[in-house]
Structure 1
């Protein structure tokens, strides 16, 4: 029963550093009693007999009592040793049951996880993962709100927000997802009518679709000849989300400046074309932010542990398409 605990908790047969490893010591004592000798216990534990003997001696020295009577050819538990064995057996059995209960509870986890994300990230990255998440955790409800406006996690009672861009100083915990690189794109139909910009300055002659956020300036950060420029832009659309900008860009209304994950499928399908390819664009970090501390709800922990590595892989895949 204790084999894996024995190996993971006290595998120092090669003279490893001593640590506070009382659970491992208990497991060794239990093995010695159940097998009847130090050498037999050592074989089960993948230790040497001398390591087992030294461990028992060290434990007895710390406790100030003898656990085994070594005066005969067979090991005999002392009265204190018998008590230690019984308590150790119950303790490890309780630990095994506790770990098994945690595993069962993970599959029975329930409750609601309130999630906030931008429209593009939520639609293209989060939503495709939800059906798979629910096959594993069918009793967890995901309350998903998509908006390109920044939400206040405290006021909106949000459990986790996926944010693209710089993070403000706060008491929130952040788990980094990856990096999104913005690029300038247009529909082939728009380029046929208005031509393809060759330099950042050419954007003055084009209809640039943008946003109406208070935090947004009418500039696109681009690279021009090795230097960074805040290129002034103008156009006849100001939208409150990237999906509206993307759809109107596909319809040929103008140029757009969107994240790689947002337009990767459209570029692959030929609906959009990347322009100003040599103009290095700005990159933004993508993070999952949430309230930290010692009491992260199990439902939120399960959600993050499922989503974060898959979202990391998705961003890496999109980035690789444009390298």
Structure 2
């Protein structure tokens, strides 16, 4: 099949419009239409249902679009490897991680990375769904469990525990729990048990609920839980790494926490020589060293 026709077909399928595809390809609508029709004739199939509201892929079109999408991702990977300079760090790096870790730990630290590499562009994709790195849905991932996908380079970064936090103002007004049973007199803020999250957090919340807790605020991500805690709504179930960036928060019932949650960084084997990934990996590792030193100093001070 003619590559130009496949490229144009992919743009049309992705945009759902001849006009929008033409704008992206810098071609007229008629030129795009001719190429698509020529591809349909060469395959002897109809690839699109044509409607007034736009174009919808036929079953055969869906099959071809799946193939061209995989081809484009492989081309993106090849392009990234070709463009990676031996000495310079530039271009786009697509980073995926959870909403909680991305908003609460990673994003606040990114100014340091941009200061060091001003020509680096970060596309930060925050979601609980595990993106397919070998298929280039992202370049690098930070996840709260060891990735199971094949052909990945993975490195354990740190461990996290889910703990209880509140503001001094909230505790002054409502009292500080001395044991778990005292939580029945407080509002608990946590991630919604039905939302995607690590099992350790869900297990801790289930344990807390056995203490006759009658008032709750549930949110579908930890950023929302933190905002509730900062506004004195109640006691929140949050990751322990917040202690560094929010030193005024009080750890409630310090002996109550989840089991260890491992944090892994992973990227495709084929990108092992990427200077962009190396820069990001080294940056994250350096920040974790700083984080650990700060946490150790805080622990010694509180002791």
Residue 268 (structure 2) aligns with: 291
Once the two structures are superposed, residues 118-177 of structure 1 have per-residue CA deviations (whole angstroms, 9 ceiling, x without a partner) of 344334443344333334433221111234x2332347711112123x335322332111
1:72 matched to which residue of 2? none
Q: How far did 1:216 drift?
A: 6.3
* 2:155 counterpart SS class: strand
Q: Please state whether the residue corresponding to 1:252 is helix, strand or coil.
A: coil
What SS does structure 1 have at the residue aligned with 2:254? coil
Given the alignment, which residue of 244, 250, 263 partners 1:273?
250
Q: Highest Rg: 1 or 2?
A: 1
How far apart in 2 are the matches of 1:289 and 1:263? 25
Q: Residues 78-137 of structure 1: CA distance to partner in whole angstroms, max 9, x if unpaired?
A: xxxxxxxxxxxxxxxxxxxxxxxxxx9344333211012334433444334433333443
- Residues 104-253 of structure 1 aligned to structure 2 (within 5 Å): 105-147=85-127, 149-154=128-133, 157-164=137-144, 166-171=145-150, 172-212=152-192, 213-215=195-197, 219=202, 221=204, 230-232=207-209, 235-253=215-233
Aligned residues: 209
Residues of 1 paired with 2:129 and 2:244: CA distance? 24
Compute the RMSD of aligned alpha carbons. 3.2
**Partner SS, residue 319 of structure 1:** helix
Does structure 1 conserve the Cα–Cα contact (< 8 Å) formed by 2:164 and 2:256? no
Q: Structure 1 residues 294, 259: CA separation in 2 closer, same or farther (over 3 Å shift)? A: closer
Give ranges in structure 2 of 5+ residues lacking alignment: 1-83
Deviations 1:30-87 (A, max 9, x none): xxxxxxxxxxxxxxxxxxxxxxxxxxxxxxxxxxxxxxxxxxxxxxxxxxxxxxxxxx
* Pairs within 5 Å for 1:295-306: 296-304=273-281, 306=282
Q: 1:280 to 1:249 in 2, by over 3 A?
A: closer
CA–CA separation in structure 1 for the residues paired with 2:181 and 2:202 = 12
| Distance apart, 1:246 and its partner CA | 0.8
- Structure 1, unaligned stretches of length 5 or more? 1-103, 223-228
In the other structure, the counterpart of 1:15 is none
Give the superposition deviation at 1:293.
4.3
- Aligned equivalents of 1:160, 1:198: Cα separation in 2: 42
1:161 aligned counterpart, secondary structure: strand
Does the 8 A contact of 1:125 with 1:314 survive in 2?
no
Measure, in 2, the Cα distance between the counterparts of 1:139 and 1:288: 22
Once the two structures are superposed, the pairs formed by residues 22-37 of structure 1 within 5 Å of their partners are none
d(CA) in 2 for partners of 1:299, 1:264:
27
Please, what TM-score do these two structures have when normalized by structure 2? 0.58
| 8 Å contact kept, 1:120–1:262 | no
1:288 CA drift (Å): 1.0
Map 1:256-267 onto structure 2 (within 5 A). 256-266=236-246
Equivalent residue for 1:308? 284
* CA displacement at 1:220 relative to structure 2: 5.2
Aligned residue for 1:285, secondary structure, equals strand
